[in-house]
Amino acid sequence: MVAKKYLIETWGCQMNEEDSEKMAGILKSIGYESATKREEADIIIFNTCAVRENAELKVFGNLGHLKTLKMQKPDLIIGICGCMMQQKGMPEEIKKKYPYVDIIFGTHNIHRLPELINNVKQANSTVIEVWEQEGEIVEGLPIERKSDIKAFVTIMHGCNNFCTYCIVPYTRGRERSRKPEDIINEIKDLAKKGYKEITLLGQNVNSYGKDLENMSFAKLLRMVNEIDGIERIRFTTSHPKDLTEDVILAIKECDKLCEHIHLPVQSGSTRILNKMNRKYTKEQYLDLVNLIRKHIPDVAITTDIIVGFPGETEEDFLETLDLVEKVRYDSAFTFIYSKRKGTPAAEYEDQVPEDIKHERFNKLIEVVNRIIEEKNATYKDKVVEVLIEEVSKTDETKLTGRTRTGKLVHFSSDNMNLIGKLAKVKITEPRNFILIGELQEIIR
């Protein structure tokens, strides 16, 4: 018998990517194989994001496209899950507008996928199962990872911060830390399988362990650093209010911890930060950046910035530009504020007009990109350590990888056996978003 095939399409953050890898693992464990395109699939699952409206609109558009496919192939199972489904009224809206969707589930019950698929076979309308509350953390789910070299490992779920623009605390629930032994065992197992790089994931990794006894994020980092076989450890995301000096010292002292901190600032105006409920001032953020650079001089700092938060004046925006000039980020994700139903900021009356938001966004990108280019230019003629990850997607004669600071490097080689190795690469031509280099030697 030919095996049935699955296709999972993922929007949003790394947390969603990891959930999709878990769903792939679950589907494999019940006999499905992966498909490369929609037409081949017997089950298609959309794992959705709710952080900005744009992502939602794309999901709606894609659901529309599936209608023809479902008509041609009535046995096709269509599932939709993720953060969008945790919003009040959304599952019902989807069921009404897209009645050919078979399964709707949320972020808290992906482990229920096999039962939900079974239920579809008996049901004659959409099966909806969205848990409002997070349950216990489910350990031991099978997982089918996309890469053989780099792996995401979730260390905590949820968020307690309630930034006033953000939907995540409502879609992912309260903070819950995984037990350190579960995390360590998972990473030891990855090391055994040959994985070289681990990224520890959480909405706010710096509050890891606050709900456990005698545990902290810095402690966990030092424990992970001891695992043989792993070459590099990264983590994301850090909330500036919770990033402590002991975490900075762990990065400085642990050889496997990469010199890169993603430190979302969101705004450079203390007044706006206050309205966002971020719990730090512009000055405190800059002090933190100085402390990080004092301990780790070559660190790369990246960030997230929102423009056009309700009430943001030209002056507030200039504060953001000023902060960007002071910090000089290695990279930044820039966002236009998007109103999210159910969050406090969506109710604020002083929303910024669309044209002004776009104007500020373009100005911000200009400054951010200029600085990235200037920073990349300093890599010229430097020899950097690169973990070789894959053949370049755009040029088969090149291999690609990243520096410890997270910069993408391309160099000429058609030797696929080098994938997974650490190498020294001399940068010959820094560009805006990549560094072109020449392979010097393989380290190991």
Contacts to ligand SF4 by CB under 6 A: 159, 161-163, 166, 168-169, 203-204, 239
How many Cβ atoms sit within 10 Å of the Cβ of residue 374? 11
Residue 172 C-beta: closest distance to ligand SF4, Å: 8
DSSP 288-316: HHHHHHHH-TT-EEEEEEEE--TT--HHH
Residue 338's binding partner out of ligand SF4, ligand 5AD, none, with CB under 5 to 8 Å set by partner kind: ligand 5AD
161 interacts with, out of ligand 5AD, ligand SF4, none, CB within 5 to 8 A per kind: ligand SF4
Of 11 and 98, which has the nearer Cβ to ligand SF4?
A: 11
Q: Contact, 342 vs 167, CB < 8 A?
A: yes
- Cβ 428 to ligand 5AD shortest distance, Å: 34
**3-class state of residue 200 by DSSP:** strand
Pick 126 or 204: Cβ nearer ligand SF4: 204
Which of ligand 5AD, ligand SF4, none does residue 273 bind (CB under 5 to 8 Å by kind)? none
Residue 86 touches which of ligand SF4, ligand 5AD, none (CB < 5 to 8 A by kind)?
A: none
355 CB-near residues (< 8 Å, 6+ apart) = none
Sign of the torsion formed by the C-alpha atoms of 132, 138, 144 and 149: positive
Q: How far is the CB of 161 from ligand SF4 (least distance, A)?
A: 4
> Please, what is the angle between helix 90-97 and helix 53-72, to 10°?
40
At its nearest, how many Å lie between ligand 5AD and the CB of residue 340? 5
Tell me the closest approach of the beta carbon of residue 50 to ligand 5AD, in angstroms: 9
DSSP 3-state of 341: coil
State the binding partner of 299 from ligand 5AD, ligand SF4, none, CB within 5 to 8 A by kind. none
Instruction: Name which of 52 and 260 has its Cβ closer to ligand 5AD.
Output: 52
State the residues that interact with ligand 5AD by CB under 6 A.
51-52, 165-166, 264, 266, 304, 306, 335, 337-338, 340
**Residues 407 and 301: beta-carbon distance below 8 Å:** no
Residue nearer to ligand 5AD on the CB measure, 303 or 400: 303
Nearest CA to 333 out of 50, 57, 52 is that of: 52
First CA to last CA distance, the chain:
44
CB of 303 to ligand 5AD, least distance (A): 8
Per the CB < 8 A criterion, the answer to whether 268 and 320 are in contact is yes
Partner from ligand 5AD, ligand SF4, none contacting 169, C-beta within 5 to 8 A by type? ligand SF4
Tell me if 203 sits within 8 A of 237, measured CB to CB.
yes
